[in-house]
Structure 1
Amino acid sequence: MAKPTISLKARALRYLSMREHSRMELMRKLSRYVQEGDDIVAVLDWLEASKFLSQERFSESLVHRRASRFGNSRILMELQSHGIGGDAISTIKTQLADGEVGRAREVWRKKFDHQPIDANERVKQMRFLLQRGFSHRAVQAAIKGAREEECDVDQDDTGESFS
């Protein structure tokens, strides 16, 4: 007995039940299963009209998943690769800009948790954060801020060093 084929709509709903997808990503996934008489665009339009597919929810979901590990430029580039653009990108960009230094400091702390000993190690730490998509300004502030926190811990209330 042959397996019953799953309709494009059912397949799309199954994908969307697992996580949010962009319209472009869902179209790519569904295109493998198109049979004669199927209309992907109509299915995607129905999903958007029924509020099952939302570019805003997808953007928020992707930013939430990536923000703790990556910088603004990497997140924005990934959003653009999923077909998100225009006003949505500019809105997300302003939201991400506020916390980039703090996020860079957390990523740095998880990976290194110590100040660079020499110039080579400093370059290594900076390159790591830059490859994660953090801006040069955020990378410098994260490493400098961590150095200042370390200095604050080494001093007591009178300002004298414990050394």
Structure 2
Amino acid sequence: MKKQKPDPLTLPELRRAAVDLLSRRDHSRQELHRKLLPKAASVDELNQLLDELAERRWQSDSRFAETFVNSRINRGHGPVRVKHDLRSKGVASDDIQDAFADQDTDWNEKALDVARRKFGLHADLSDMKLKAKVARFLAYRGFTTGQIQFAMARISTGEDTTFTD
């Protein structure tokens, strides 16, 4: 027996579902569209609702991008990965650039901090396997080649920037 698709939600029910999602956390317009489309009676009705939510500033891709960037930086992700993740969520390039412009993150120091937390303050990077592992880890986290090289050089030399006077 084939599972029957539930009846589409009315516009007030769809609005309630959207507000419920937005009350938990910010969502990009594309995320809301993807989550609400199976419940909507039509694509036009859903787009009209999303336009209304944006007009009321209940949904904002720029606000979503800003909070997303902050949360990913706190998780130790690099700029390449954060930008990629935002693009995959349908955020416009202008909103991504604005969210990054509001940041005063030193990405070199962030890469160093992430590497130190994972591999220790003074890892022995003369071991080529460990050196490759550190580089792969930082690349996976979304740091650029220059940021990775900076972090690895600082770990190798044992320079500690966290306790400078």
* C-alpha distance in 2 between matches for 1:60 and 1:89: 8
* Residue 161 of structure 1: aligned partner: none
Q: In structure 1, list runs of 5 or more residues that go unmatched.
A: 154-163
For 2:116, which of 104, 109, 118 is the aligned residue? Answer: 109
* Residue 45 of structure 2: aligned partner: 39
CA deviation string 1:31-54 (max 9, x = no partner): 121136981011111101111001
Amino acid across the alignment from 1:71: G
Q: In structure 2, list runs of 5 or more residues that go unmatched.
A: 1-8
Matches within 5 A, 1:61-140: 61-68=67-74, 69-94=76-101, 98-113=105-120, 114-115=122-123, 116-140=125-149
TM-score, normalised to structure 2's length? 0.79
Structure showing greater radius of gyration is: 1
Residues 151/142 of structure 1: CA separation in 2 closer, same or farther (3 Å cut): closer
* C-alpha distance in 1 between matches for 2:93 and 2:61: 12
TM-score, normalised to structure 1's length? 0.80
Aligned 8 A contact 2:154 2:160 in 1: no
Aligned pairs, number:
148
The answer to which of 86-95 and 47-56 deviates more is: 86-95
Matched, 1:24 2:33: no
Q: Identity over aligned residues, as a percent?
A: 32
* C-alpha distance in 1 between matches for 2:160 and 2:97: 37
* C-alpha distance in 2 between matches for 1:20 and 1:122: 38
Amino acid across the alignment from 2:92: G
Q: What is the RMSD of the two structures over their aligned residues, measured on CA atoms?
A: 2.4
Residues 19/152 of structure 1: CA separation in 2 closer, same or farther (3 Å cut): closer
Residues 35/82 of structure 1: CA separation in 2 closer, same or farther (3 Å cut): same
